[in-house]
Amino acid sequence: MTVPKKKARPAAPLTREAWVKAAMNLLAQEGVPAVAVEPLALALGVTKGSFYWHFRNRDELIQACLEAWEQDQAADVVSRYSGIPDPRRRLRVLLFAAFEDVENGKFFAALTVSAEDPRIEPTLRRATERRLAFGMEAFQALGLSPEEAQERALLAYAAYTGYFQLLRTTPRAVAAVTDLSGFVRRLADALVPATENRGA
């Protein structure tokens, strides 16, 4: 007697989150223009039909990536850093965490390349404003004047954006940074006053 073979169950459709994650990885590596349905479907081993199950078009996928990134960044700052009571330690921890999160830095740098894109600009602007405000608040908590706090927050942010832009566009320019922790430590030592009221 021949036992009938069981029909293989069709593979479960790829989740929306899986598409978003794959698109965010591609965006971080190759930029916003590289995010397209066909290469993503090929990389994920599915048909384009799986994409259209979750998204109407490419723009909706890009918007989903931006929303996921912005929500993650906002939640990360609140949950991980706001609870550190010592502002000096909070600033140093934040600097180290920002530079050591290479994937996020690359994603951010890729967004800045497309900063004039009307889909990208609002998200990038909100993220920048939020990061600068958080840094300025921490510097002011050290006893610095609003002007000095703003200047130091801008210097820290400029160093961060510059480093990841170079890493993205001309990696040889930052090849000398073989000790990233030492690099960030020198930056933190230069920007975070050793004692309160310094420079105020």
pLDDT tens-digit series, residues 155-192: 999 999 999 999 998 989 888 888 999 999 999 999 99
Distance CA 172, CA 15 (A): 38
Alpha-carbon distances, residue 96 vs 100, 113, 195 (angstroms) = 6, 24, 20
Split at pLDDT 50, 70, 90, the class of 134 is confident
String of DSSP letters for 106-134: HHHHHHHHTTTSTTTHHHHHHHHHHHHHH
Q: Which residue, 139, 117, 115, is CA-closest to 127?
A: 115
Q: What is the per-residue pLDDT for 13?
A: 64
pLDDT band at 17 (very low <50, low <70, confident <90, very high): very high
Q: Work out the angle between the directed axes of helices 58-76 and 16-30 (0-180°, nearest 10).
A: 90
Residue 161, C-beta contacts closer than 8 angstroms, at least 6 positions apart: 108, 109, 112
Arch. (CATH architecture) of 66-191: Orthogonal Bundle (1.10)
CA distance 19 to 23: 6
Cα separation, 157 vs 85, whole angstroms: 22
Q: How confident is the model at residue 99 (pLDDT cuts 50, 70, 90)?
A: very high
d(CA 99, CA 180): 8
pLDDT of 49 over the 60 cut: yes
User: Average pLDDT of the chain?
Assistant: 87
Distance separating alpha carbons of residues 58 and 35, to the nearest angstrom: 8
Tally the C-alpha atoms within 13 A of residue 65's C-alpha that lie toward its C-beta. Answer: 28
At 84 the pLDDT is: 85
pLDDT digit string, tens, across residues 66-84: 999 998 887 777 677 778 8
Calculate what percentage of the chain has a pLDDT beyond 90: 65
